[in-house]
Structure 1
Amino acid sequence: MKRITCVLKRCMALLLLLPLCGAAAIAPLLPVNLKIEYLDRPMGLDAPQPRFSWTLKSTGTGLYGQQQTAYRILVASSLKKLEANIGDVWDSEWKPSAQMAQVVFAGKPLRSDRRYYWKVAVKDEKQVVSDWSETAYWHTGILTPDLWKAGWIGSSVVFDPAQNDCNIPDPWLRKTFVLDAVPEQAMLYVASVGFHEVYVNGRRIGDDVMPTAVTDHTKRARYVAYDIASFLNKGSNVIALWLGTSWSIHGPYVTKDRPNTPIVAAQVDVYKSKDPGAAERPFATVRTDATWKIKASPSKLLGVWNSNRMGGELWDANLDEPQWNTTAYRDDDWLPATAYHPKLQVSAQQVEQNRRFNEIRPVAIKKISDDTYRVDMGVNFAGWIAADLEGKPGQRATLLFSEREQADMTFGLHSAYIFDKTGKGTFRNKFNYGSGRWITVKGVTKAPQLGDIKGWLVRTAYKEAATFSCSDSLQNWIYNTVRWTYENLSLGGFIVDCPQRERLGYGGDAHATCETGMLNYQVGALYTKWMEDWRDVSGTESIVGNMYDTAFARKEVMSGRHLHQGVLPHTAPTYMGGGGPAWGGIVVTLPWYFYRQYGDETILRKNFSLIRNWIGFLESNTRDGVLQRFGGRWDFLGDWLWPNATAEGMNNDSPQNLCFNNLYRIYNLRIAAKIAGRIGEKEWAVKWSSQADAFSGIIHKKFFNEKDTSYADGSMGNLVAALLADVVPEAWRQQVWKRLENEIRVRRKGHIHVGITGGALLFKLLREQNRQDLLFEMASKTDYPGWGYMKENNATTIWEMWEKDLPGHSLLHSSFLYPGAWYIDGLAGIKVDAPGYTRFIIQPPQLAASRLSWVKAGFESPAGFIKSNWSRENGRLQLDLEIPPNSTALLKIADADGLFLKEKKGAIRKIGKHKGITVYELRSGKYHF
């Protein structure tokens, strides 16, 4: 085998052999990417002991093995004090620690509605002190419930579910008040059931879209904080709120104490000082109450916010009053707002806001008739549009959204615009969104031009974390399309199944999306919030069928019937939809995946009761070691949407289904045992581990077929679940693996043959076992079923089913997004080893250069930026790697690649060799081999 020696970039190898010449006054490390609770400078944070995180940047060149050996955090009550290095709120002093994530605040008790400034410095491996980081800050919200003084107000008009379209106009609310001075601090906190926009003295505050995040409004309302100090004047001022109906009429959220209409509670304390001290009192306060005034606005929800009836928006230009939110406007004819008293917990929205991204321009417009035109936006997307239109005064133009070129409208998505006397106007989304590729415009007198229409993706504003490209154009298409689809599913602080038909947060679908999300985006806050949603909905069964028809819903009230404390609906925070054990089981797997990704034990502790109750619920439905079918027709689904599943029958009582759910239950038990062990719950760890072992024997005996070494019906999904759940006895494991390979390569001719849950488990298993060959084979097929088949059929987003032309299914869906994780931890070879990536693996896949000759990938991990570029040419492997400070990488190289590295003190150390793989430890730095 040809021996290849390693050469460090730009002749830096010599530096590895020599100490740094003379310790510099400032360490060549700098803390960067400062965050609190996974957020960048959050406003309105209600955590009394927030957690600080940062990563490290090397400010030198040619340096290896850089480490953090200590940190010091300063928190100050004013920017001036922090700049003087005075931590009057908290000076952590020097803490000998390599910890960079989830460092818990341990200073003086925080006050509500205050801004705090912070920075951090570190010591390196030579005990040299770094420069201070840039200054960051956060603003606390309402830290104790007694400080929330705002009343709930809204319209007296409530939703009538008997209507085809919503009968509630989106209301305007306003309050005029006088200030005797110009304020320095004024933070407005707005909690709404339904969406809202905020205006002060005629100016829109913030660039957020459709706040707040989607929330279980039987229990909770989230507030958003707005800094309005610079918008206030001495003298007369007006705060105006525009409410959007949206989730306020979602059937499962109906309760006796809350009206079926959008409502809002808001408050602001106004201070003369920018950083008010403990003794300073606000010189003015504004709270929502019945003295606020209300009027119907020109906008109204079309549809009823139900499956296939999400509708759109109606804008009546004849009702517009542009000055409605200014001090000059006279509101004498407005009515007093109606006060309400719902029993809602008010808490901060600790997840990024929705915002607009990726402006989209149409690629073609086709005339259908004299007043009808079909606009091709070029890509399937979920979001907003702006359309300049012309029509007859007083007439209505309609905009119909479709995922299919031959259909005017899919899933009932439509908006409308009523022209004023000018016959000209612009339709703009405000409190709803469309989804599709084609927009059919009807009722206009002039053909729209390409420049008259534009769209935007709307999503939660998390940041990207990864880049990936490779030599295979199909893999690049799959990766980019999976990411685009994921982004289109993440509006509102959770991941929906589809943005057009249901908008539900399915737990089963989360198996297909959560690791793709965590390996490609900075979604720590999003998944923390979504787990809170699962805690909120726990103990309640799911709603199936028409949510306004109690005969289908099986409930007395739409908020859900409380059953066993551990039962979970199949979606959160939305309650509706069908599912099975793998849907509720996300409350076990997601916290564990999250912990592995971010090194955050808090998510394990906060959700441990939820996990324990869920495992207990499954145990209550277990007889003689076998989980029994429970619930109604839609409550015990197994795998979902495998190829040709609709013809075979997905919702059935077959042994296949019973086997799959029992295997998944054992997988849940094994993960729950790991969680319990990690957080010191030893009794539960022993119990669950013992149960998993015992149930494995029972399920293996009941479902295993010795003749062909398969389980139940021999499906790919059951083979995968048995292996992943470690149900297969050691004596049979190798044969079951061969059976799975045969199922993929021979019986299915290299095609995937699983659905949402089975597919997610398949990719999980093969990623963990480094079977890039099998994954690449399935991801390379261009005929049915597969992602390449979608590409060949001109897809721009990932479909709900492997089939394209079955009526009623979505072409923008969460079902098959699980390859998105594989591109980073499989083809790029970046795998977490120690939770949070303080130690990780880089392992170039063993694929022939004729199949994949190069990969370029970057990953902004919780420990810092990782680069993994590899290429093979003429039998020669080349690597460009970057290991962030304060972390180490285990580089795994197959003998077949003929790359043998020389050990270098402080940089490269050979660990060992196993089954033709040599393992090297690389300390932080940049390498070229």
Structure 2
Amino acid sequence: MFTITGLRCEYLENPVGIDVLQPRISWRMESDERASAQTAYRIEVAGDDRFQEKLWDSGQVLSDQSVHIQLTGLKMESRQRYYYRVQAWNQHGECSEWSETAFWEMGLLKADEWQAVWIGAPASLLPENSEQCPMLRRSFELDGKIKSARVYASALGLYELEMNGVKIGDAYFAPGWTSYKHRLQYQTYDVTGLLRQGGNVIGAMLGNGWYKGNLAWAGSKDLYGDRLALLFQLHITLEDSREITVISDDGWKVSGSPILMSEIYHGETYDARLEQPGWSAEGFDDSGWQPVVILSHTKAILIAQENVPVRKIEEIKPIQLIETPAGETVIDMGQNMVGWIRFTVKGEAGQEVQIRHAEILDGEGNFYTDNLRAAKQLIRYVLKGGESETFEPHFTFQGFRYIRLTGFEEPVRLDDFTGIVLHSDMEPTGDFQCSNPLINQLQHNIVWGLKGNFLDVPTDCPQRDERLGWTGDAQMFIRTASYLANITPFFTKWLRDLKADQAADGGVPFVVPNVLGTEGNGLFGPPFNSAAWGDAAVICPWTIYLCYGDKRILEEQYDSMKAWVDYIRGQGEHEYLWNTGFHFGDWLALDSKPDSYIGATDRDYIATAFYAYSVSLMQKTAAVLGNTEDEKAFAALYSNILRAFTDEFVTPSGRLSVATQTGQVLALMFGLLEGPAKERAVRKLMELLEESKFHLTTGFVGTPYLNHVLSDNGNNEAAYKLLFQQDYPSWLYQVTKGATTIWEHWDGIKEDGSFWSKDMNSFNHYAYGAIGDWLYRSVAGIDTDDHEPGYKRIRIRPQPGDGLDWAQGQLQTLYGLVRSRWEKSDDGRMRIEVKIPPNTTAEIHLPGAALEAVTENGIKLSEAAGISSVTDMDTGVRVLVGSGEFQFAY
């Protein structure tokens, strides 16, 4: 027997309020039998959960496809809920029972369906220079029993909604950060259970957020607009089939709120004495509130929520109360985290308490904030007095491990403080563990780097006056991120913003959404078009396709990808080299010149190498999409770039003219060398590592690929040697210094306890966490096949090395759980355990194995079920298998 489970629509379980006109359905097949496979499927879609009102039936489709099935021919209607179920046939021709019923629900599909208008506070209430957040409310009556109700809402700024005194939904920082001039998300909420017959009240609170607040390091504000506004539309269906609509219009009222200031960087100021209890509930006297004003703003840019929402993911309790040498009261949360503090305090009315946030203590043990630059990260709370008061912020987030308390009465109780971790609510998918505790801590730090920097956009850092969607950091980390969580909705949204903010000439901004403008601010020059940064336009969509089999993202981004390559080709006098413009180079590499952030690797070399790499991915993308002419054109372009690269950077004897670690790594990783030149680059890399006593000197560009290049070119032990270094510079140096996230600099804290710098020293920066890709792909050995992506065909190829007795990784793919574990015994024997999900196949490499010595679950390979072929190779044994759990020993 087998079952169909895990039904998803557009990666989501029962999504409400999508606007995808041709939704895609995915499911998992579950079976205890080895080599289980799907041979056919059937999907039914109905307007009711009993399937009496059938809308669409695929019939039996002979196919093994079980992810991203596009429901062509089914016309979507706004606000309609669609129920669906799946059955499938296996390799024996047996048919499963119908799956459990799942559903998706459409949002508002057309701009003219928005009856609501934008509303905000009048200038007489909140002048232009006011930092106070507005509260808005509207009361209405219902004269019948409620059958269903949906809210559709967005804002210029951030918003929170309440209905009858209860918060609507569990999301924060809605509507999220997009390229606001082109795209603005709205959210859908099922509020059926919050409404009641009789009087009802809607309440809304607005904050500056990314729309109006302070962004980037130049102190800029109002980058998208200078007025906060709400857009709200409530559709109610009563039991008697009547429909009622409540919208944002001139019938709403507005008041100032207790939030006197709220900024992403600077924190929040809240005066509890200004609270108006019951303001979003029936019976509240709003006679002192003012009428709202209607604002003019387009609704044509509205789109349904694309990314998963930001939510409260977990809570952390403090581990220590510290009295610093400077006499300050500090609490250690034990983990560098992103979110805010919920705290309870008791005192007199008008008493003010403050919480300042920091990542680190200095060498003397004092609270350290210099690396925050202009970001204040300060919560100010004024008590209303009386009983204990509990508070948490609304429209701000902090990056911190330590908090400094001011104004709190003694003795301070740790139980009164809780860290609330917030980030985009991505489904965790991966886990890596091994026999070395320091490596496990490194993996922990990588995961927390993702948690801290995937708050609606992939930011570089979450604490200082920056927190921007740097394209380079995102493309460097995306493959690692794909192991840690289901990142497709997250990156789908971000890549659409990249496309929206892309220049007319195809150039790509340094940060997405682009808040650095077009002229630049003197720090870097015009904020567009650095190699390895702009290449995110190509690398990120390809990576999503590779890891999730998502062809649609290539279709959507193809014009953007192509435009970026065309931009590069149009630079300078040589269309096959990129040797013009500003580039970040091997950012923060340790071989940089004094007082320089840019590494020693020639920037023209890096630019041309990434040019070649992006073109190679464009050739593959065109092939996937069936664009034969483009595929040929990109193949020819790649050949010309390769020839020009060789002429420019490779001597006739095969030596690279760029003698750095990163120089060798890029040429080898991107396949730019062959024969003697490739062999020489491998030797040169090893020479450079030996010169540095097996310490890396690479920066943002070279580090993600370094260990891959070593393992893939016969130097796996060198890769392990790098991994296990504990002195500076190394990944574990940070761990030995107590890091709980990944640092921006290899020596953010120097060996003498001093800091690298004040101006740019984040202790939560995920770029160097890209080593996680190697841990999963090479150490645990879990990978996918380019030709059958998304783990339809799985590659299990662990590469054990000295220093580990065992390692294991697991990954929840769209097909189910993939698991790989290896263990070495003291006598040199190897045991490898593998789990392959149904409806997939796997190519398993047993490193160093001799065919005659290998057993599977105690029997010969030739007698084991589920194995389709076995090949004896120089490097070990290759086994092709179907689904199931396998235990190999040799």
TM-score normalised per structure 2: 0.91
1:14-25 mapped onto 2 (5 Å cutoff): none
The answer (yes or no) to whether the contact 1:763–1:818 under 8 Å persists in 2 is no
Greater mean deviation of Cα atoms: 285-294 or 700-709: 700-709
Distance 1:396 1:287, change over 3 A: same
Partner residue of 2:22 out of 43, 49, 53: 49
1:487-636 mapped onto 2 (5 Å cutoff): 487-539=451-503, 564-576=504-516, 580-625=530-575, 627-628=577-578, 635-636=582-583
- Deviation of 1:897 after TM superposition, in Å, equals 6.2
Distance 1:887 1:618, change over 3 A: same
Aligned-partner Cα distance in 2 for 1:897–1:193 = 65
Distance 1:158 1:673, change over 3 A: farther
Distance 1:702 1:160, change over 3 A: farther
Instruction: Tell me the secondary structure at the aligned position of residue 338 of structure 2.
Output: strand
Aligned-partner Cα distance in 2 for 1:192–1:763 = 45
Partner residue of 1:659 out of 599, 602, 605: 605
Higher RCO (CA-CA < 8 Å; seq separation 6+): 1
1:643 maps to 2:590: yes
- Deviation of 1:630 after TM superposition, in Å, equals 5.1
The answer (yes or no) to whether the contact 2:42–2:57 under 8 Å persists in 1 is yes
Match of 1:798 in 2: 742
Match of 1:546 in 2: none
Partner residue of 2:685 out of 717, 740, 744: 740
The answer (yes or no) to whether the contact 2:601–2:663 under 8 Å persists in 1 is no
Distance 1:574 1:452, change over 3 A: farther
Q: For residues 326-382 of structure 1, what are the alpha-carbon distances to aligned partners after superposition, in whole Å with 9 as ceiling and x for unaligned?
A: 111011121121212223500011221111123111111124599952111111111
The answer (yes or no) to whether the contact 1:868–1:880 under 8 Å persists in 2 is yes
- Deviation of 1:409 after TM superposition, in Å, equals 3.2
Aligned-partner Cα distance in 1 for 2:766–2:869 = 42
Instruction: Tell me the secondary structure at the aligned position of residue 258 of structure 2.
Output: strand
Partner residue of 2:702 out of 727, 733, 758: 758
Distance 1:917 1:119, change over 3 A: same
Match of 1:211 in 2: 174
- Deviation of 1:824 after TM superposition, in Å, equals 1.7
- Deviation of 1:187 after TM superposition, in Å, equals 0.7
Match of 2:332 in 1: 376
- Deviation of 1:258 after TM superposition, in Å, equals 6.5
- Deviation of 1:800 after TM superposition, in Å, equals 0.6
Greater mean deviation of Cα atoms: 107-116 or 801-810: 107-116
Match of 1:461 in 2: 425
Q: For residues 1-43 of structure 1, what are the alpha-carbon distances to aligned partners after superposition, in whole Å with 9 as ceiling and x for unaligned?
A: xxxxxxxxxxxxxxxxxxxxxxxxxxx2212211111111111
Aligned-partner Cα distance in 1 for 2:326–2:458 = 42
1:179-194 mapped onto 2 (5 Å cutoff): 179-194=142-157
Match of 2:399 in 1: 435
Instruction: Tell me the secondary structure at the aligned position of residue 362 of structure 1.
Output: coil
Aligned-partner Cα distance in 2 for 1:442–1:599 = 52
Q: For residues 711-738 of structure 1, what are the alpha-carbon distances to aligned partners after superposition, in whole Å with 9 as ceiling and x for unaligned?
A: 32x1111111122232224341111112
1:864 maps to 2:816: yes
The answer (yes or no) to whether the contact 2:847–2:876 under 8 Å persists in 1 is yes
Aligned-partner Cα distance in 1 for 2:601–2:126 = 44
- Residue type at the aligned position of 2:243: F
1:141-220 mapped onto 2 (5 Å cutoff): 141-157=107-123, 167-220=130-183
- Residue type at the aligned position of 2:116: A
Partner residue of 1:831 out of 783, 786, 800: 783
The answer (yes or no) to whether the contact 2:591–2:698 under 8 Å persists in 1 is no
Match of 2:408 in 1: 444
Partner residue of 2:661 out of 713, 716, 729: 716
Match of 2:520 in 1: none
The answer (yes or no) to whether the contact 2:794–2:841 under 8 Å persists in 1 is yes
The answer (yes or no) to whether the contact 1:223–1:347 under 8 Å persists in 2 is yes
- Residue type at the aligned position of 2:8: K
Q: Any stretches of 5+ residues in structure 1 without a counterpart?
A: 1-27, 275-279, 540-563
Match of 1:847 in 2: 801
Partner residue of 1:225 out of 185, 188, 191: 188
- Residue type at the aligned position of 2:542: W
1:343 maps to 2:298: yes
Instruction: Tell me the secondary structure at the aligned position of residue 322 of structure 1.
Output: coil
- Deviation of 1:589 after TM superposition, in Å, equals 0.7
- Residue type at the aligned position of 1:447: P
The answer (yes or no) to whether the contact 1:391–1:397 under 8 Å persists in 2 is no
1:38 maps to 2:39: no
Greater mean deviation of Cα atoms: 434-443 or 254-263: 254-263
Number of residue equivalences = 849
Distance 1:415 1:914, change over 3 A: same
Instruction: Tell me the secondary structure at the aligned position of residue 333 of structure 1.
Output: coil
- Deviation of 1:796 after TM superposition, in Å, equals 1.2
Aligned-partner Cα distance in 2 for 1:369–1:715 = 44
Aligned-partner Cα distance in 1 for 2:709–2:213 = 38
Aligned-partner Cα distance in 1 for 2:114–2:221 = 22
Match of 1:9 in 2: none
TM-score normalised per structure 1: 0.87
The answer (yes or no) to whether the contact 1:184–1:230 under 8 Å persists in 2 is no
The answer (yes or no) to whether the contact 2:776–2:809 under 8 Å persists in 1 is yes
Match of 1:245 in 2: 208
- Residue type at the aligned position of 1:524: T
The answer (yes or no) to whether the contact 2:849–2:877 under 8 Å persists in 1 is no
The answer (yes or no) to whether the contact 1:158–1:259 under 8 Å persists in 2 is no
- Residue type at the aligned position of 1:649: S
- Residue type at the aligned position of 2:431: T
Match of 1:877 in 2: 830
Distance 1:93 1:482, change over 3 A: same
The answer (yes or no) to whether the contact 1:257–1:341 under 8 Å persists in 2 is no
Distance 1:114 1:750, change over 3 A: same
Greater mean deviation of Cα atoms: 588-597 or 897-906: 897-906
1:814 maps to 2:784: no
Partner residue of 2:232 out of 242, 245, 266: 266
Distance 1:589 1:324, change over 3 A: same
Aligned-partner Cα distance in 2 for 1:627–1:740 = 24
Instruction: Tell me the secondary structure at the aligned position of residue 48 of structure 1.
Output: coil
- Residue type at the aligned position of 1:728: L
Percent of matched pairs sharing the same residue: 26
- Residue type at the aligned position of 2:819: K
Instruction: Tell me the secondary structure at the aligned position of residue 191 of structure 1.
Output: strand
- Deviation of 1:255 after TM superposition, in Å, equals 11
Match of 2:199 in 1: 236
Instruction: Tell me the secondary structure at the aligned position of residue 820 of structure 1.
Output: helix
Distance 1:198 1:772, change over 3 A: farther
Q: Any stretches of 5+ residues in structure 2 without a counterpart?
A: 517-523, 749-754, 856-860
- Deviation of 1:505 after TM superposition, in Å, equals 0.9
Aligned-partner Cα distance in 2 for 1:505–1:886 = 37
Q: For residues 535-562 of structure 1, what are the alpha-carbon distances to aligned partners after superposition, in whole Å with 9 as ceiling and x for unaligned?
A: 12111xxxxxxxxxxxxxxxxxxxxxxx
Q: For residues 802-826 of structure 1, what are the alpha-carbon distances to aligned partners after superposition, in whole Å with 9 as ceiling and x for unaligned?
A: 1121123100112211122222211
- Deviation of 1:774 after TM superposition, in Å, equals 3.2
Match of 1:18 in 2: none
